[in-house]
Each structure stands twice: as structure tokens, then as C-alpha cells.
Chain A
Amino acid sequence: MRTVDLNEAAVRDLNQALHDQSDECTERDWQVLNPKGAHNLACGLDQNLSVEIQGHAGYFCAGMNKKATVTIEGNVGQGVAENMMSGVVRVKGNASQAAGATAHGGLLVIEGDAGARCGISLKGADIVVKGNVGHMSCFMAQAGSLVVCGDAGDALGDSLYEVHIYVKGEVKSLGADCVKKEMRPEHLEELTELLNRAGIDEDPAAFTRYGSARQLYNFKVDNAAAY
């Protein structure tokens, strides 16, 4: 395992060293010490690496991740795993707003709570949150899934497209065009698989599914009040 101590190295040095692994992988296991909330840690990775960040991280940690597994042993700031393409990002603590924003693929697991707009504009990734999510989660989300083992804040799934949302706890309110939906066997199967991949022990049958009513997909003047 290669260790990078951010008391001694700059974020630029860390990221360059990780990016260099894309061309020729010489070390798969990495550990980052003393992150102290620095922004943009381990972003833009494109290799099957395992990166453990031993502490809190700032904005855009593991942004645009491809292939790598990034674990944060603490809290993260805004936009963790934003636009992730593949791989796994696991936050052991809480995540600030816009976690997993626009992510196209891969799995984001947040073991604590996630702030507002978790999964905003999601484009195919899966997000599993062990705790609660804030307001406007999955706003304009297009594809993928969001699993919330706790509660969801206001306006969940506002202007949703084709994302599958599963919530175990209370939903404070649903956003425009987001509705409660029947949990069919294929959804139970999907949820079971998501929970297993995230390593979270919950009963899928205790969740409720939410999705798009698809009433706002094409502009209609009759829906003017919803705009």
C-alpha cells in the first residue's frame, strides 16, 4: 500500500500520482492521511484502485470517478462522487449536499446522512444512504436509483424522470410529478441487490417505492401550475 500524507504532499501531487496509474498501474492500494477537509481529493480517477481517505474530505471528493473504489473514513463536503461513471465510493460519515450529482454509473454508499439534493440530475448511478436525505433529493434525476434507509426531506424526486427511489422512513413531501408506486417483485429484487451491494442490512419489504408520474414529460399548458 502506498501512503500519501497531505501534511507533506499537496492535493495536486496526490491526484497526479493517482492519475499516473491510469497509464501504468504500479500500485493498486492507496491510503491518504491528514486530508483535513481538503477539496477535490481523488477526483478524476480512471483505474481499478482502492483509495482510503483517513479523515474528512471537502468538496467534490472522488468526482468523476471511474473504476476506482474510494472510501472516506469521515464526512465529505459538497458533490461527493459527482458525475461518477463507475466504481464505488463509500462515505463512512455524513455527506453534504449534491452527493452523487449527475453520476452516470457506479455505486455511492453514504453510511450517515446526506444533505440536500442528494442524487440531483442522477444519470444512471446507484446511491444508497443508510441515514436520511435532505430536501430536493433526486431533483430532475434521470436514471439510476436512490435508496434511503432513513427519512427524506421536502420535495423528494421533484421533476423526476426514470429514477427508482426507495425510502424506508418518512417522506416529508413529494416534489412535482413524483408519486408513490407499487413495489412489484422486480423492484424488491432490485432493492435487495442494491442493499447487498452496499452491505447494508435492511428488510426490502419495509421500503416504499417512488417514481415519476410522467405527467410533465411533455410541456402542456394544463400543467402550468406545476411549472
Chain B
Amino acid sequence: MTEEKYLNAGLRESATFDRTAMAEIRRAAQSGIYDIRGFGAKRRLPHFDDLLFLGASMSRYPLEGYRETCNTSVTLGTRYAKNPITIDIPVTIAGMSFGALSANAKEALGRGASAVGTTTTTGDGGMTPEERGQSTKLVYQYLPSRYGMNPDDLRKADAIEVVLGQGAKPGGGGMLLGQKITDRVAEMRTLPKGIDQRSACRHPDWTGPDDLAIKILELREITDWKVPIYIKVGATRTYYDVKLAVKAGADVIVVDGMQGGTAATQDVFIEHVGIPTLAAIPQAVQALQEMGMHREVQLIVSGGIRNGADVAKCMALGADAVAIGTAALIALGCNHPKYAEEFKKIGSAPGFYDDYQEGKDPAGISTQNPELAARLDPVEGGHHLANYLRVLTLEAQTLARACGKSDLRNLEPEDLVALTVESAAMARVPLAGTQWVPGQSF
């Protein structure tokens, strides 16, 4: 019987115990272990699709789409660093580790980012020569595990990102399962081959914001105050975290919403911890504005950014730039339909694949299997990523010009309205057609 026939026959499926919930109960009963997977939150959340731009009309003056310039460059790290970074487009590549990703994938990310003048970022496991070699502007993540961490690489970086958390798992550490631990990955992380590599959830040598201020000074001393220092937090108590990060001395703050991706985390963690990116940005901007630090300490936002509209909406809400991870992997070929048959063999399908932790990615991205990894040509992948980044930028510029803005950073909350009460409350912009901002007016 087809699904329609079930319904016509009066059969009713539970909204509470839906097919996904039932499948998970069966899986848990069978395995006795929680589900670990990659990707980000898959539940429906208030997101940028719930916002719309108010294009110019009588009361606003638009810019000519193909004639008048709309600046996209942003300088990051102007607060303390001797050498701030200027990126040509306000879209950066988020931290993803060699280990979680293949060396070819890391190289492709570096190539794509470099082609359009933006940054890419290392991840848990340290800096690879391929990545440094292909990234003209590379941000070095300083993580709790300190896998592969060494002062030489620190000094090679164009910026340092102190990672306190990520949107997919704020408050959680990491796990790289043994099947992805090749000789090279094991050597970089100083651990035996084939074991599960746990990444700590807290930094080993400091606790709390007062200690972090001293840690940041240490990093500045070691790099002779040359490079910007970012602090990355998973979006939770964003207002307070941003204030503490500014106080601790950050040049740049990265806020990663709960739609942000991961290579391997418990499903329960991904889906039930953190707040949506949409809700985090106004909190962060409020904190910066109250401290007189908005635009002085730059704000990078990540988590679920897919297109130029998302980029423009983040910037209208007050971000200086965005970071993409999952979208960048999709641009490289992650979840591509051409691998449908191979996905089927491993019990998945294009558009559904999230078992990055297993290392069997048919697209050759989230794997250390040499045969699979060879499927991704880093030059071609880099080209695709660069194309995608250009499209994001063009789309964002299109929207900004329509709002009469000659710089993406001139977009403002006043340019936005919300389609739902929830998104209006979170983004702190009026419900479309009204002056009502829930929580701020009646």
C-alpha cells in the first residue's frame, strides 16, 4: 500500500513517534550506543529564509547593479595585531581538520579560498604543508586537544583562532574514530594508529575568561603581536560570551550557530544543544555595541550559511564576515548525486549522507582512504569552491545594491523584516508589514 492509501484507509502516523524517532529507538535498542554522525543540525529551525530585505523604492535610493561599486572587502584584526588581515570577500572557510577531511580536500579549500582572496582555517590535528602552501591567508586553530600544535606553525599563521567551542557541540569535545586514523594522522596527533582520538572539551592549561586573557597575551608574545587573535564560541549564551571574549582581548570573535557542521558528534548533541545562528547574531552585536566595540572587534558568523542572501542577512544584522564549512564541502562535491549507487552500498543516499566519522565518503572528502580521497582533484575542487564563493559574493552585492548600500557592511537591521514571529523576535527586526518587534515593542 502506498502512503496515500494508508492515509485514505484511515491509518494515522504519530507526530510524536514519527518514522525518524522510531528508527532511532530501534537503532539504539539494537546497538546500545548513541548515534555519532557528522553534518550539522537537521531539524527545522528559524533561519535566514525567515527574513526578507526591503529593497529601495521611493524612500530609499538603490545603486545601479552593474555600474556602481559595492565593496566586499573587510579587514580583520584591527584591534591589536600589527598585521591585520584584509579579505577581499566577507566569506571565509571555517576550521575543518586534516583527519576529518582528506589532504586533497584541505588543499582544495585552500586553493578555492586563495583564488578569491579570503582565508581558510586549520582544524584539530594541526597544519599540513599542503594547506599552508595553498592558502595565501591561513587561520591556525588553537584547540583544547592541541593535536599537532607547535610554535613554528603558530608563527606561520596569518591569524590564530582560539577555539572554545563550535555550534554543532557547544560544551563538547571531539572524537575522530579509529578507522580514520592513518599513519599520517596518527603521527600528527602523537597517538597510536587506529585508536579513537578524543579531543578534550576544555583547554588543558587555562580555565575561565581571566586565564584566557593571559593565554591570549602569551600567544601575542610568542608571535610578537603580529597576527590577529580570534576567539571562536559555539552559540549558546552569546551575549555574555562575546562580552567576555572582548574583555579577554580578542581581535575577532567567531560565533558558530547550532546549524554549524561537525565531523563526528553525538546526534543528540547536534540536535539539542545551542541556539540558531539567527538568534545568536543580535546577541553578539548587542554585546559589542554596549562595549563600544562593534566594528572595532570584528564579528564572524557561521552555521548554516548557504547562499548570498544568507551572507547579506548576517551582515545586515551586524556581522563583519561569515564562515562556511558544510556549504564549502558541498561545493567540493559532498553528497553529490553522481555517487548515488555508492551511497546506496553504504546505506545512505545523496543529500542524506552524514556519516563522516566512518571515513567511507564516496566523494573522497571526509575520508582518509587513499582510493576514495583520490576522487577529489584538489585543483578542480578549488575551482568549484572559488566559483561558489564568487556567487555568494555577487548575490550579496545584488541585495546590498538593491538596498542602496555601497558596502556590504552598510547593510543594517532596518533593511530587514521577518516572516514569522519567532524569527522577528530572534533577529530583532519587525514582522513584515508591521512595526512589531516581539520582545521590544507591543
Contacts and interface: CB of A to CB of B under 8 A. Distances in A.
Contact of A218 (B149, B178, B191, B224): B178
A46 to B, nearest CB: 7
Contact of B218 (A16, A43, A85, A162): A43
Contacts of B225: 12
A74 to B, nearest CB: 18
Contacts of A101: 204-205
A143 B190 contact: yes
Contacts of B214: 39-40, 58-60
A210 interface: no
B215 interface: yes
B32 interface: yes
A193 B330 CA distance: 53
Nearest to B179: A218
Interface in B206-256: 206, 211, 214-215, 217-218, 221-225
Contacts of A219: 33, 175, 177, 196
A92 to B, nearest CB: 21
A20 B187 CA distance: 31
B146 A161 contact: no
A225 interface: no
Nearest to A18: B221
Given A39-B214, A98-B205, A123 B196 contact: no
Contact of A98 (B145, B204, B218): B204
B218 A218 contact: no
A224 to B, nearest CB: 8
Contacts of B221: 11-12, 15, 40, 43-44
A145 interface: no
B192 A140 contact: no
Contacts of B215: 59-60
A82 interface: yes
A40 B217 contact: yes
A98 B214 CA distance: 14
A221 to B, nearest CB: 4
A78 B146 contact: no
A105 to B, nearest CB: 10
A43 B221 CA distance: 7
B159 interface: no
Name B's interface SS: loop
B224 A19 contact: yes
Contact of B154 (A12, A15, A64, A78): A64
Contact of B191 (A19, A58, A78, A161): A161
Chain A, interface size: which category?
A: 35 or more
Contacts of A139: 204
Nearest to A144: B190
B35 to A, nearest CB: 13
Interface in A36-52: 39-40, 43-44, 46
B191 A142 contact: yes
B218 A66 contact: no
Given A78-B211, A142-B190, A83 B150 contact: yes
A120 B32 contact: no
A140 B205 CA distance: 13
Given A44-B151, A63-B222, A79 B198 contact: no
A98 B31 CA distance: 38
B21 interface: no
B192 A161 contact: yes
B200 interface: yes
B141 to A, nearest CB: 14
B47 to A, nearest CB: 33
Residue among A46, A143, A219 with max Cβ neighbours from chain B (10 Å): A219
B340 interface: no
B149 A83 contact: yes
Nearest to B175: A219
A186 B415 CA distance: 72
A104 B191 contact: no
Nearest to B200: A140
A208 interface: no
A165 to B, nearest CB: 17
B224 A120 contact: no
A161 B224 CA distance: 34
A217 B195 contact: yes
Given A217-B196, A221-B33, A123 B190 contact: yes
A218 B313 CA distance: 43
Interface in A137-167: 139-140, 142-143, 159, 161-162
Q: Which 4 residue pairs of A and B lie closest in terms of their CB atoms, listed nearest first? A: A44-B222, A79-B205, A101-B205, A217-B195
Given A11-B221, A59-B215, 15 more contacts: A12-B221, A16-B224, A44-B223, A79-B205, A83-B149, A83-B150, A83-B151, A120-B204, A121-B145, A121-B200, A140-B204, A162-B191, A218-B196, A219-B196, A221-B31
